[in-house]
Amino acid sequence: MIRCSLADAKTRQESIEGLTSAVLEYAEGLPVIKSYGMTRESAIEMRKAFRDSRTANLSFEEHILPYEIAMMILYGAGMTGILASAIYLLQQGSITNVYFVGVVLFLFSIFSSVKHLFQQSTRLTIMKNSLDRINEVFAEAEITDSGIAKISDDETDAEIEFRNVSFGYGKEDILHDISFTAKKGQMAALVGESGSGKTTIASLLSRFWDVGSGEILIRNTNIRDVKISDLMEHISMVFQRVYLFNDTIYNNIAMGSGASRDEVIEAAKKARCYDFIMSQPYGFDTMIGEGGATLSGGEAQRISIARCILKDAPIIILDEATANIDADNERSIQQAMSELCRNKTVLVIAHRLYTIANADKIIVIDKGHIAEQGNRDELLSLGGIYSRMEAANA
């Protein structure tokens, strides 16, 4: 019985996880889903997750039910049998009244404990499965942080260098032999189809993952040899999906940096968010809902840019938002970004090609390979993927 319920409990656990992520995805993506009139398609996905979860729960209950019924029958029959014998013995005068009451009390206490034990065993099965899942997560290999090298202050070497980097999230590589450099103050832009591996390249530079083979160097130092906190001091990131904390605007920009109020305000001005912050009920002390729920996408993006301006790291990673942002917001974001990128080395992932027309280097990623690399003029004269992308964008 334990083995059978363990298998069912595992399926049940997996279906609960599936349901949770389906509901979260649906809720988070609701604005996009609505704007594309895809409520029906997305709801189908979520309904399927509900159905799977219902099936798994029913199957779990169905498997456990016969054992529960058998247990109840055994429990009832046992109680009745012993109680009947005790009454019979009492009538025969073999036991006294006090003895009879003792037997009845004993019966109830022992059988209710057995019943309780059985119920708990079902719950234990469910708990064991949840624990197994938690242990699986803990068993994932951690990124080692044993580096002691310092990133040098010498800025003559390439600021960022990828050397023959390959990487895969699972067994299969999704990045193959990626090599490129960006010198101090340069802007390198990654372009390519959705899913080609651009965000993955940026995540490797900030060591969210470690490369499978090859090396990533900052000023000629392998990032694996550097303490992660040191690496993070050198890099600022603006993500594709902005995340803001359920805290004040001020704290979301300062992020524990210990910067003075004047510095925070200065960063907000540079990131073109000062005006809309001041129009909030409590200015910088206005609370932002979890995930930035109370701000527009463009405003949230500018707050995250202000955060990076304040951090003032020499390397900036920009993963442009793919969501549609209105023209006014777009202009403010562009201004904020140019402010952020001034005198910095920038690795930008661009979805709108006109934003990177002046990039020192454009790297075209195609299914995890570098297909083309060069400045805009060079790529246009190649007449390859990049020129086709520009033509399609025009």
Sole window of 32-40, 192-200, 209-217, 364-372 interacting with Mg ion (rule: CB under 5 A): 192-200
Structure tokens, 26: 């649906």
Are 322 and 351 in contact by the 8 Å Cβ rule? The answer is yes
Report the alpha-carbon distance of residue 281 to residue 268 in Å, rounded: 17
Give 140-188 as a DSSP string.
SPPPP----B---S--SS-SEEEEEEEE-SSSS-SEEEEEEEE-TT-EE
Report the alpha-carbon distance of residue 336 to residue 339 in Å, rounded: 5
Report the alpha-carbon distance of residue 57 to residue 18 in Å, rounded: 13
- Shortest separation between residue 244's beta carbon and ligand ATP, angstroms: 20
The site for ligand ATP, by CB under 6 A, has a size of 11
**Whose Cβ is closer to Mg ion: residue 199's or residue 257's?**
199
Report the alpha-carbon distance of residue 31 to residue 38 in Å, rounded: 10
Nearest to 373 by CA among 187, 183, 180, 193: 180
**Beta-sheet pairing, 361-366 with 187-192:** parallel
**Whose Cβ is closer to ligand ATP: residue 192's or residue 314's?**
192
Sole window of 121-129, 187-195, 290-298, 377-385 interacting with ligand ATP (rule: CB under 6 A): 187-195
**Beta-sheet pairing, 361-366 with 369-374:** antiparallel
- Shortest separation between residue 160's beta carbon and Mg ion, angstroms: 18
Contact track, ligand ATP, 359-388, x by CB under 6 A: ------------------------------
**Whose Cβ is closer to Mg ion: residue 199's or residue 280's?**
199
The option from Mg ion, ligand ATP, none interacting with 174 (CB < 5 to 8 A, set by class) reads ligand ATP
- Shortest separation between residue 123's beta carbon and ligand ATP, angstroms: 33
Sole window of 198-206, 280-288, 305-313, 382-390 interacting with Mg ion (rule: CB under 5 A): 198-206
Using rule CB under 6 A, residue 169 touches ligand ATP:
yes
Q: How many CB atoms lie within 10 A of CB 322?
A: 13
**Whose Cβ is closer to ligand ATP: residue 75's or residue 239's?**
239
**Whose Cβ is closer to ligand ATP: residue 151's or residue 379's?**
379
191-250 binders of ligand ATP (CB under 6 A): 192, 194-200, 240
Query: Residues 89, 104, 126, 174: which binds ligand ATP (CB under 6 A)?
Result: 174
**Whose Cβ is closer to ligand ATP: residue 204's or residue 218's?**
204
**Whose Cβ is closer to ligand ATP: residue 53's or residue 301's?**
301
Say which residues have a Cβ less than 8 Å from residue 236's Cβ, sequence separation at least 6. 307, 308, 311, 312, 313, 315, 316, 317, 340
Nearest to 235 by CA among 148, 340, 137, 377: 340
The option from ligand ATP, Mg ion, none interacting with 207 (CB < 5 to 8 A, set by class) reads none
Q: In the sheet where 221-222 sits, what is the strand order? A: 175-182, 160-167, 213-218, 221-222
The option from Mg ion, ligand ATP, none interacting with 219 (CB < 5 to 8 A, set by class) reads none
- Shortest separation between residue 35's beta carbon and ligand ATP, angstroms: 18
Handedness of CA 377, 196, 391, 330 (dihedral sign): negative
Are 49 and 25 in contact by the 8 Å Cβ rule? The answer is no
The option from Mg ion, ligand ATP, none interacting with 108 (CB < 5 to 8 A, set by class) reads none
The option from ligand ATP, Mg ion, none interacting with 196 (CB < 5 to 8 A, set by class) reads ligand ATP
Nearest to 150 by CA among 208, 216, 221: 221
Query: Residues 11, 57, 181, 199: which binds Mg ion (CB under 5 A)?
Result: 199
**Whose Cβ is closer to ligand ATP: residue 200's or residue 332's?**
200
DSSP state of 193: S
**Residues of the shown chain interacting with ligand ATP in the complex, contacts defined by CB under 6 A:** 169, 174, 192, 194-200, 240
**Residues of the shown chain interacting with Mg ion in the complex, contacts defined by CB under 5 A:** 199
